[in-house]
């Protein structure tokens, strides 16, 4: 059976920055959930079937506050609605692959950044490369969660500051995006949209507002962005 080892090796090399972040973040999530009183296997199950970093951290609060299902549904949609916009830009990439359902499920901010930042070789089978990259990234998250949950079961640990790893990972990926595009305009648009969201709306609606403003500005400056590329 051909396991497409070349595609796996390239995907693994590409995924190393995410491995460094997801291992720590997954560990923090597992630790936090167990510390909130949940059994360790719930943390691992969530990372397997939900696999949504920010939402999983919010879920720790959901358990403790005992929110209703409608409230949880609305919060979940608001936090993850940005994935819909990511997916639209990857329709062509995922069009001719039998792994499409899993690739859609496993599309995270970091996986999206790698898929749109790293230049792909024409000598690889891209459908397998996409699959391995997505699978590896989730495996880092799940393994980190498992270790964190098991550690939390046996040791009392101060988790303050661990969630900053997500911010650090985004900074690294943003730098990689700039090194590829050499264009400051998208970053300026993102910064202005985020600042506007911060100033104009409540914290709960900031993310959705910032994304919407970014999209509007990207459409307005579409020709400039295309010319720069």
Tell me the average confidence (pLDDT) per consecutive run of 10 residues in the chain, 229 residues long: 78 92 89 87 94 83 71 72 77 84 90 84 85 96 95 77 63 71 80 88 75 82 71
**Which pLDDT tens digit goes with each residue over 178-191?**
776 677 788 888 88
What's the CA gap between 33 and 183, in Å, rounded? 40
Neighbours of 170 (CB within 10 A): 14
Question: What pTM value is reported for the model?
Answer: 0.70
Per the CB < 8 A criterion, the answer to whether 29 and 47 are in contact is yes
**Which pLDDT tens digit goes with each residue over 92-133?**
888 878 888 999 899 998 898 898 887 777 788 888 999 999
Residue 75 sits at φ, ψ, to 5 deg, of -65, -40
What's the CA gap between 120 and 137, in Å, rounded? 17
pLDDT value, residue 1: 42
pLDDT value, residue 71: 67
pLDDT value, residue 150: 93
What's the CA gap between 158 and 147, in Å, rounded? 16
What torsion, rounded to 10 degrees, do the Cα atoms 135, 141, 144, 146 define?
Answer: -80
What's the CA gap between 131 and 203, in Å, rounded? 35
Per the CB < 8 A criterion, the answer to whether 204 and 180 are in contact is no
**Among candidate residues 99, 74, 100, the one with its CA nearest the CA of residue 87:** 100
pLDDT value, residue 2: 59
């Amino acid at each position: 059976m051909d396991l497409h080892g070349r595609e796996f090796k390239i995907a693994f090399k590409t995924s190393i920055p995410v491995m460094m972040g997801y291992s720590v973040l997954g560990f923090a999530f597992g630790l936090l959930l167990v510390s909130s009183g949940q059994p360790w296997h719930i943390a691992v199950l969530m990372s397997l079937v939900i696999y949504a970093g920010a939402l999983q951290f919010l879920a720790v609060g959901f358990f403790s506050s005992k929110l209703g299902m409608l409230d949880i549904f609305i919060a979940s949609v608001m936090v993850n609605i940005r994935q819909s916009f990511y997916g639209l830009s990857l329709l062509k990439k995922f069009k001719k692959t039998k792994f499409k359902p899993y690739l859609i499920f496993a599309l995270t901010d970091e996986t999206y950044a790698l898929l749109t930042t790293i230049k792909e070789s024409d000598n690889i089978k891209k459908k397998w490369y996409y699959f391995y990259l997505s699978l590896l990234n989730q495996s880092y998250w799940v393994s980190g969660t498992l270790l964190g949950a098991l550690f939390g079961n046996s040791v009392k640990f101060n988790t303050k500051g661990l969630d900053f790893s997500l911010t650090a990972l985004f900074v690294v990926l943003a730098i990689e995006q700039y090194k590829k595009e050499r264009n400051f305009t998208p970053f300026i648009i993102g910064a202005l949209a985020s600042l506007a969201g911060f100033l104009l709306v409540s914290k709960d609606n900031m993310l959705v507002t910032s994304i919407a403003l970014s999209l509007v500005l990207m459409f307005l400056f579409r020709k400039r962005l295309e010319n720069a590329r």
